[in-house]
Chain A
Amino acid sequence: MPPIVSTHALHKVYQMGAVGVPALRGVDLHIEEGEFVAIMGASGSGKSTLMNILGCLDVPSTGTYVLAGRQVDGLSRDQRADIRNQVIGFVFQGFNLLPRASALENVELPLVYDRARRVGDPRRAAEAALTRVGLADRMTHAPNRLSGGEQQRVAIARALVGNPRLVLADEPTGNLDTRTSMEIMQVFQDLNDQGITVLLVTHEQDISRCAKRIVELRDGKVIRDAAIGDRYVVGSDPRAGGTAGPGGAS
């Protein structure tokens, strides 16, 4: 099976007027289906830039990116929109929910643009996704009536609803406290256990230990790429607290 993510010599230069700011300087990254990768690195090392390119939200300046066997660089805006809709689920640090729509409507949003109509009943699929992240009893709430952890669960449900093969999360726990962060990580681990490839950015050592592999960036280059020896599985350790189950957040 080909790797789900395969990049070669990715470069990204942000143009600030006359000055070019290099953010990525030759990233080669290969991720197999079913992996759980944490991307780490100092602030400004290019983590978000890489995630945005991998998520087809942005395009590299040079270099190639093959996603699930398909060459992505050079595709049109609409083709990239379709990839975001069909193949990828993206989770943001700031949740990025539509403030005036209910949790259910937020989760349904990707299905509104699902031209392939892979999901039969959008309402049912959205309910299932919310149940999967432990929010079965919060469906009609507006985002401003949900806690930060709950909002991020809604965002994850939205990323899941279209059955993506790859879930990308840029500092998904950056706005959350430690305990809530662990609950969110458990959700990601569950997804990964169900076969979804997860790629997330984090600053925190504790969070990265939940993944199976760590990639570290510095100045737009990969400086370390290693499997995690002492992986931490949320819920398996009684010290992490018994409330960490998906349903426990309510």
Chain B
Amino acid sequence: MIAWIRYPGVALRSLLKNKSRSLLTSLGIIIGVGSVIVMVSVGQGSQADIAETINSMGVNMLMVMPPHSMRGGVNRGAGSLATFTMDDADYLRERSEYCSAISAMTMSPAQVIGGEGNWSTSVLGVDVDYPRIRDWGVDQGEFFTARDVRTRSKVALIGKTIADELFPGQNPVGVRVRVRNTPFTIIGVLSEKGEDARGRDQDDVILAPVTTVLARLKGGREIDMIQASARTIEELDEAEEEVADLLRTLHKIMPGEDDDFHVRTQTEIIERASETSRIMTSMLGAVAAVSLIVGGIGIMNIMLVSVTERTREIGIRMAVGARERDILLQFMLEAVSLSLAGGVIGVMVALLVAAALDAIWGVTTVVNPMVVLMAFGFAGIVGVFFGIYPARKAASLNPIDALRHE
């Protein structure tokens, strides 16, 4: 049995004698292992990205929306559409125990004129709690106060993008701009937030008191949604339940009746987004795995050639006493060494590519050691599987026929 220890050496040596052929044979495995790892790493990177953007929105955030803004929501008739007003927000603020911050929100697209020119953007009417819900700071100046909301002050905070566009290199605080003919005084610049989960620039925005936006820009009392923050992430479910109960009471919805609103939490959004991304990841991984199998077929092909070329060697080994199993093991080890060597190179290539994607193109990649191990292990299995047939062919040769082979 001790003699078996020599076999890996024998296998390795015969592979090294044919370096370029071995390399070409392993290429399929290299590409297979490499692409499995890169694909899955990119997929998991995008999952991580999504999780991070969602975290940046504030994980314990709740959104209460009228059902018509839900995808696939049922339109329950014209009368029931205008369901949200400031009253709903005030009602929740008074009674909710699990929510630590509540803000009404309404949105209006608008042209801003001032500074270096004009700019099309959205004006968000929000309440004083909004920065806390979204975990959003102010770089210059200050946020507006409850008094501003009460008195419908014409004050606004601008996002980083607008500050850069309209006031490059200047301090916009105190400057007056016109938003659809209404003059607003800029009282602050929001800190940079980046893109949201759908890739929209969150810094291309103007924040103003919700009351001002309703009165000056939109007219009417209807708000688009209510955003709230659970006191802790653990109480998110309780907060969701409580908000729904309170609104049912306020809207006089009987048990068994459909709600005229919809409460969404971040966990729901995270789950949906990462579900999509997970499916993508496994599909990419599966496609890459197919190339691993193709690589295995390449190994089988070369091993068959090798068996034919080395028939005489097999005959010599048999003549001096090699058993079937010895020959089988020798060729199996060669096939597995080929695929494992391909696996090692593939892993290295994948790590380089993943690092390059990250560094040069800014694609987030998460290299999971489990995935690396699995790809490597799969390469080994491919080597065993596709090595068996050529190895059996070699082992089943007749010694005398093998020796006569030219």
By a beta-carbon cutoff of 8 Å, the part of chain A in contact with chain B is 52, 55, 57-58, 77-78, 81-82, 84-86, 90, 92, 96-98, 100, 109-115, 117, 158, 162
Which residue of chain B has its CB nearest to the CB of A77? B324
Complexed CA–CA distance, A137 and B325 (Å): 35
B323 in the interface (beta carbon within 8 A): yes
Residues B320 and A109 in contact, CB atoms below 8 Å apart:
yes
Residues B326 and A113 in contact, CB atoms below 8 Å apart:
yes
Residues 267-284 of chain B, each 1 if its beta carbon lies under 8 Å from chain A, else 0: 000000000000000000
Complexed CA–CA distance, A52 and B399 (Å): 10
Contacts of B323 in A (CB 8 A): 77-78, 81-82, 113
**A158 touching B320 in the complex, CB below 8 Å, given contacts A57-B400, A98-B313:** yes
Residues A85 and B400 in contact, CB atoms below 8 Å apart:
no
Residues A85 and B403 in contact, CB atoms below 8 Å apart:
no
Residues 371-406 of chain B, each 1 if its beta carbon lies under 8 Å from chain A, else 0: 000000000000000000000000000111001000
Residues A110 and B403 in contact, CB atoms below 8 Å apart:
no
Contacts of A100 in B (CB 8 A): 14, 17
Complexed CA–CA distance, A55 and B319 (Å): 9
Q: What would 15 more interface pairs be, CB under 8 Å, given A86-B321, A115-B3? A: A78-B324, A81-B322, A81-B399, A84-B321, A84-B399, A96-B315, A96-B316, A109-B316, A110-B321, A112-B3, A112-B6, A112-B322, A113-B317, A113-B321, A113-B323
A-contacting residues, B1-24, CB 8 Å:
1-3, 6, 14, 17
Complexed CA–CA distance, A109 and B14 (Å): 15
Residues B324 and A57 in contact, CB atoms below 8 Å apart:
no
Residues 320-353 of chain B, each 1 if its beta carbon lies under 8 Å from chain A, else 0: 1111111000000000000000000000000000
**A57 touching B313 in the complex, CB below 8 Å, given contacts A113-B322, A158-B320:** no
By a beta-carbon cutoff of 8 Å, the part of chain B in contact with chain A is 1-3, 6, 14, 17, 312-313, 315-326, 398-400, 403
- Return B321 CB to nearest CB of chain A, in Å: 2
Of A58, A84, A86, A113, most B-chain CB atoms within 10 Å? A113
- Return B61 CB to nearest CB of chain A, in Å: 70
Complexed CA–CA distance, A110 and B319 (Å): 9
Complexed CA–CA distance, A82 and B403 (Å): 18
Residues A117 and B2 in contact, CB atoms below 8 Å apart:
yes
Of B14, B313, B316, most A-chain CB atoms within 10 Å? B316
Complexed CA–CA distance, A115 and B4 (Å): 10
Residues B312 and A96 in contact, CB atoms below 8 Å apart:
yes
Contacts of A78 in B (CB 8 A): 323-325
- Return B405 CB to nearest CB of chain A, in Å: 11
**A52 touching B400 in the complex, CB below 8 Å, given contacts A81-B323, A96-B316, A110-B321:** yes
Complexed CA–CA distance, A93 and B321 (Å): 19
Contacts of B326 in A (CB 8 A): 113
> Can you report 20 A-B residue pairs in the complex whose CB atoms are below 8 A from each other?
A55-B319, A57-B400, A77-B323, A77-B324, A81-B318, A81-B322, A81-B324, A85-B320, A85-B321, A86-B321, A96-B312, A97-B316, A100-B17, A110-B321, A113-B3, A113-B317, A113-B322, A113-B326, A115-B3, A162-B321
Contacts of A77 in B (CB 8 A): 323-324
Query: Given A82, A92, A109, which contacts B317 in the complex, CB threshold below 8 Å?
Result: A109
Which residue of chain A has its CB nearest to the CB of B7? A112
- Return A103 CB to nearest CB of chain B, in Å: 14
Contacts of B312 in A (CB 8 A): 96
Contacts of A117 in B (CB 8 A): 2
Contacts of A58 in B (CB 8 A): 398-400
Contacts of A109 in B (CB 8 A): 316-317, 320
Residues B322 and A57 in contact, CB atoms below 8 Å apart:
no
Which residue of chain A has its CB nearest to the CB of B403? A96
Residues A96 and B319 in contact, CB atoms below 8 Å apart:
yes
Complexed CA–CA distance, A163 and B1 (Å): 20
Contacts of B398 in A (CB 8 A): 58
- Return A12 CB to nearest CB of chain B, in Å: 11
Complexed CA–CA distance, A162 and B316 (Å): 15
- Return A152 CB to nearest CB of chain B, in Å: 15
Contacts of B14 in A (CB 8 A): 100
Complexed CA–CA distance, A78 and B327 (Å): 12
Residues A90 and B319 in contact, CB atoms below 8 Å apart:
yes
- Return B397 CB to nearest CB of chain A, in Å: 10
Which residue of chain B has its CB nearest to the CB of A94? B403
Complexed CA–CA distance, A114 and B321 (Å): 8
Complexed CA–CA distance, A90 and B316 (Å): 10
Which residue of chain A has its CB nearest to the CB of B402? A57
Which residue of chain B has its CB nearest to the CB of A117? B2
Which residue of chain A has its CB nearest to the CB of B315? A96
Complexed CA–CA distance, A58 and B403 (Å): 11
Which residue of chain B has its CB nearest to the CB of A111? B3
Complexed CA–CA distance, A84 and B265 (Å): 77
Which residue of chain B has its CB nearest to the CB of A89? B320
- Return A102 CB to nearest CB of chain B, in Å: 12
Contacts of A115 in B (CB 8 A): 1, 3
Residues A113 and B320 in contact, CB atoms below 8 Å apart:
yes
Complexed CA–CA distance, A23 and B92 (Å): 105
Contacts of B325 in A (CB 8 A): 78
- Return A193 CB to nearest CB of chain B, in Å: 24
Residues A57 and B2 in contact, CB atoms below 8 Å apart:
no
Complexed CA–CA distance, A172 and B14 (Å): 29
Contacts of B322 in A (CB 8 A): 81, 112-113
Complexed CA–CA distance, A113 and B7 (Å): 11
Residues B317 and A84 in contact, CB atoms below 8 Å apart:
no
- Return B20 CB to nearest CB of chain A, in Å: 16
Complexed CA–CA distance, A46 and B3 (Å): 37
Complexed CA–CA distance, A47 and B3 (Å): 35
- Return B399 CB to nearest CB of chain A, in Å: 5
- Return B404 CB to nearest CB of chain A, in Å: 10
Complexed CA–CA distance, A27 and B47 (Å): 80
